[in-house]
Amino acid sequence: MENRVNENERVLFRLLYLLKRLTDKWVSRNLSKIASKEFNATFLPYFMNIGASGISNHELVKMIQVTKQGVSKTIKELENLGLVYTVKSESDARSIMIYLTDEGKVLFKETKGYADDLHEEYRKVAGTKNFEHTLDTLIKLIAFHEKKEEEEG
């Protein structure tokens, strides 16, 4: 029985689930300190990829791998919260550029600070070399899945 428990501790799906669940709880707890309750953790991949210099809707779709409709819906919600604004792209009439408002820039900076703090905590737990290796490995695993999706069409 103990052998089976040890095997289950290393099941990838279990580990990914737990890390995501625990990270989401950490994000929600810390986000509530700096953002309105209408801003939720599901906005973070969109919001943080807009960044200080802005991004096109097409680039954002590629970065976070969601549909254009999904990006549009979330960007509208972020606009309604006063955190982003959009303008038509000067170089591509089919594209819009998304930028952080002044309020969005403040929230971005604070959120990035919390993320940096979490990275430092992870480095302390795992050691810098192990943590960086883990990030590199996660990037490789994501690239593997992206390539598989491309191959499958």
Pairing of strands 84-88, 96-100: antiparallel
**Nearest Cα to 47, choosing from 104, 5, 102?**
104
pLDDT digits (tens, 9 = 90+) for 84-111: 999 997 887 788 999 999 999 999 999 9
Domains of the chain, CATH where assigned: 2-152 (1.10.10.10)
Query: Is 139 a residue whose pLDDT tops 60?
Result: yes
Mean predicted confidence (pLDDT) in 36-43: 90
pLDDT digits (tens, 9 = 90+) for 109-132: 999 999 999 999 999 999 999 999
Pick the range with the lowest mean pLDDT from 3-7, 8-12, 68-72: 3-7
What is residue 79's predicted lDDT score, i.e. its pLDDT?
A: 96
Find all residues with CB under 8 Å of 54, minimum gap 6, and list them. Answer: 97, 98, 99, 100
What is residue 90's predicted lDDT score, i.e. its pLDDT?
A: 81
